[in-house]
């Protein structure tokens, strides 16, 4: 049984076999590393280690301990181009749908751009990342200005090659899973590999396919370049292989961004030692200027992470606030995408953004209305006031509250700490065309189901660790019991939707729903010949000595039904 109040605020278990909504969890915290204090007193501090960034809350003694630990793993850092690493764990391969070569001419560039290309090619040659090539494959090269507006990045246009490439499917880590794994941390170290993709070697045939052309000649890559469609999947596979069973409990990663976390300084150091040893053994090297050690508050994967919770990045919010009113579809989609990155911070995000999303639909004329302006400003305002989200803690009870309307529905997952709610995440989704016709009761039920499905990892975890006890029922007297089991849609669900959208059946169903909600007495007053049976609309047909209920067929189903009955070999008509 589950427990829910009349505002659809779920505070109990959903079903005997399904997830749990509100539980008091009791899970032992792993302590296998917390009592280990490795001794690095005999390791001299390498002078280069002084260039690294350490948490400003650390004592001088703790900094010395860290410096000795890092000096032990000096080979894991590239303080010069000569120390650039290449892994021995994996290589990137390219498999094509056909072997017809791609041949392009180099794009024309200015004299200044040509000098920049020459300079960057020399650096890549010196680092043994590229080599001169006579490959029949040649993709064009472009220069892209970096964020500082001064320097450039040499980029190969591999779009034609990617179109021929067979797709890889190794999964990238989910950012919300990464943040959940950081729950309870007190110290975190961020590690960043120097030119991460370039530390992965290419297979022999992939080198040939990677050929590119410039005004300075043709070259090909010996290491994995940026821009290949399969490159992120290969690199994530490398990191998963590198960390092995250290992933999640000891370290988290998203591509080349690694985080090593611990609940104490000693535990953090022990874990950091394990990860650095893995990096050294794999032949990889870190970029010292982008690493931060034993921090308590860091910018990680577009968010601010601290033991107190997860926050939006103020710099990204400033960019959203300064975003000009979109004047075309491309700019509008860019704005919505920026805001969507932080949708977990905004209650009913989909409902607020609905006018903007409607404007992006097919065959809709781009007309900026007052509702669009309100949504545009509301999203900005909501993100400026975005709350600090709590880290999910399996030892604490969780609470799920839902809300729904014809526009959309949403939910809030929270921890209850000292009687106060601390949001973990918000969820929202717009209603589909057919769902907009649902009754308020159906929409509330749909919101519960969708929220349970979305937050299933938390709710399932809660159920598996601590089954519901009867004390919950006494704490919430103004609730009612219900059973909710997530199952496949009923076989007639498609017909239900079609009846709701039918010009004839729809108004009758709406009236029936209003009757149920308002407890009107005589149902037969307006539509005496109709009845809703198992969610479907039926009409009474009187025959001698009997009253039969016949299914109402939506108009769009009439033709297909007639074809089935008359033309089908088993339909009885020849």
Q: Name all domains of the chain by residue range, CATH numbers in brackets.
A: 2-27+394-482 (3.10.20.370), 311-384 (3.30.70), 494-567 (no CATH)
Query: What is the C-alpha to C-alpha distance for residues 130 and 237, in angstroms, rounded to an integer?
Result: 23
Query: What is the C-alpha to C-alpha distance for residues 553 and 325, in angstroms, rounded to an integer?
Result: 47
14-19-20 Cα angle (round to 5): 65
In eight-state DSSP terms, residue 186 is S
pLDDT digits (tens, 9 = 90+) for 400-459: 888 888 888 889 999 888 878 899 999 998 888 888 888 888 888 888 888 888 888 888
Structure tokens at 369: 């209305």
Output the pLDDT for position 508.
Answer: 58
Distances (CA, A) of 416 to 186, 394, 545: 21, 12, 62
Output the pLDDT for position 309.
Answer: 93
Output the pLDDT for position 4.
Answer: 35
Output the pLDDT for position 395.
Answer: 81
Work out the number of other CB atoms within 10 angstroms of the CB of residue 497: 18
Query: What is the C-alpha to C-alpha distance for residues 92 and 237, in angstroms, rounded to an integer?
Result: 10
pLDDT bracket for residue 337 (50, 70, 90): very high
Tell me: pLDDT of 519 over 50.
no
Tell me: pLDDT of 236 over 80.
yes
Query: What is the C-alpha to C-alpha distance for residues 227 and 161, in angstroms, rounded to an integer?
Result: 10
Residue 503 main-chain phi, psi, to 5 deg = -65, -30
SS3 112: helix
Work out the number of other CB atoms within 10 angstroms of the CB of residue 143: 17
**Closest by alpha carbon to 178, among 391, 19, 25?**
391
> Which of 151-155, 179-183, 306-310, 384-388 has the least mean pLDDT?
151-155
Residue 104 main-chain phi, psi, to 5 deg = -130, 150
**Closest by alpha carbon to 213, among 163, 167, 161?**
161
Work out the number of other CB atoms within 10 angstroms of the CB of residue 79: 18
pLDDT digits (tens, 9 = 90+) for 54-108: 998 999 999 999 999 999 999 999 888 778 889 999 999 999 988 888 888 888 8
Asked if 209 and 163 touch (Cβ cutoff 8 Å), the reply is: no
**Closest by alpha carbon to 127, among 82, 92, 193, 78?**
82
pTM of the model: 0.71
Stronger pLDDT, 422 or 561, i.e. the higher one: 422
3-state secondary structure 362-378: CCCCCCCCHHHHHHHHH
Asked if 304 and 313 touch (Cβ cutoff 8 Å), the reply is: yes
Distances (CA, A) of 376 to 123, 284, 339, 370, 440: 45, 45, 10, 10, 27
In the chain, the largest separation of any two C-alpha atoms, in whole Å, equals 103
What are the residue ranges of helices labelled H in 365-439? 370-384
Output the pLDDT for position 331.
Answer: 92
3-state secondary structure 34-64: CCCCCCCCCCCCCHHHHHCEECCCCCHHHHH
Radius of gyration for the chain, computed over Cα atoms and rounded to the nearest angstrom: 30
Estimate the share of the chain in helix, then strand, then coil, as percent rounded to the nearest 5: 40, 20, 40
**Closest by alpha carbon to 186, among 35, 28, 307?**
307
Whole-number average pLDDT of the chain: 80
**Closest by alpha carbon to 291, among 45, 53, 51, 48?**
53
């Amino acid at each position: 049984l589950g427990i829910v109040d009349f505002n659809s605020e779920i505070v109990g278990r959903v079903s005997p076999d399904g997830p749990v909504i509100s539980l008091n969890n009791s899970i032992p915290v792993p302590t296998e590393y917390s009592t280990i204090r490795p001794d690095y007193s005999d390791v001299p501090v390498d002078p280069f280690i002084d260039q690294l960034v350490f948490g400003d809350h650390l004592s001088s003694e703790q900094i010395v301990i860290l410096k000795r630990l890092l000096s032990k793993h000096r080979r894991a850092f590239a303080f010069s181009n000569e120390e650039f690493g290449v892994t021995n764990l994996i290589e990137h391969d390219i498999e094509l749908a056909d072997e017809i070569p791609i041949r392009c001419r180099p794009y024309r560039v200015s004299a200044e751009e040509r000098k920049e290309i020459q300079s960057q090619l020399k650096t890549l040659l010196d680092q043994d990342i590229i080599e001169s090539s006579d490959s029949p494959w040649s993709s064009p090269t472009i220069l892209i200005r970096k964020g500082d507006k001064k320097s450039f990045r040499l980029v190969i246009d591999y779009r034609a090659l990617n179109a021929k490439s067979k797709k890889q499917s190794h999964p990238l880590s989910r950012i919300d899973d990464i943040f959940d794994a950081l729950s309870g941390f007190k110290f975190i170290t961020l590690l960043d590999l120097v030119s991460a993709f370039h530390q992965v070697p290419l297979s022999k045939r992939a080198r040939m396919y990677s050929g590119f052309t410039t005004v300075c000649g043709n070259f090909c890559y010996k290491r994995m370049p940026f821009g290949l469609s399969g490159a992120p999947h290969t690199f994530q596979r490398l990191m998963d292989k590198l960390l092995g069973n250290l992933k999640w409990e000891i370290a988290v990663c998203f591509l080349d961004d690694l985080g090593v976390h611990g609940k104490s300084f000693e535990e953090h150091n022990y874990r950091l030692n394990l990860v650095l040893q893995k990096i050294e053994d794999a032949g990889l090297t870190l970029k010292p200027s982008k690493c931060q050690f034993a921090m308590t508050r860091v910018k990680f994967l577009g968010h601010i992470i601290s033991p107190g919770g997860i926050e939006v990045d103020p710099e990204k919010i400033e960019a959203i606030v300064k975003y000009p009113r979109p004047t075309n579809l491309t700019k509008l989609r860019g704005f919505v995408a920026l805001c969507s990155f932080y949708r977990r911070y905004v209650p009913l995000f989909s409902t607020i953004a609905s006018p903007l999303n409607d404007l992006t639909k097919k065959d809709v004329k781009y007309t900026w209305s007052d509702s669009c302006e309100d949504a545009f400003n509301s999203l900005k305002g909501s993100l400026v006031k975005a709350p600090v989200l709590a880290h999910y803690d399996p030892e604490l009870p969780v609470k799920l509250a839902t809300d729904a309307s014809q526009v959309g529905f949403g939910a809030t997952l929270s921890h209850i700490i000292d009687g106060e709610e601390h949001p973990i995440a918000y969820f929202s989704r717009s209603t589909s065309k057919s769902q907009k016709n649902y009754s308020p009761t159906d929409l509330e039920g749909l919101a519960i189901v969708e929220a349970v499905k979305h937050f299933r990892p938390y709710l399932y975890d809660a159920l598996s660790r601590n089954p519901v006890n009867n004390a919950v029922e006494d704490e919430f007297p103004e609730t009612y019991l219900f059973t909710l089991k997530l199952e496949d849609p009923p076989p007639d669900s498609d017909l239900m939707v079609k009846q709701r959208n039918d010009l004839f059946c729809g108004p009758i169903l709406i009236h029936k729903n209003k009757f149920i909600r308002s407890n009107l007495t005589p149902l037969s007053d307006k539509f005496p010949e109709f009845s809703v049976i198992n969610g479907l609309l039926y009409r009474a047909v009187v025959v001698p000595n009997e009253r039969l209920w016949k299914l109402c067929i939506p108009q769009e189903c009439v033709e297909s039904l007639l074809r089935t009955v008359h033309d089908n070999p088993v339909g009885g008509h020849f």
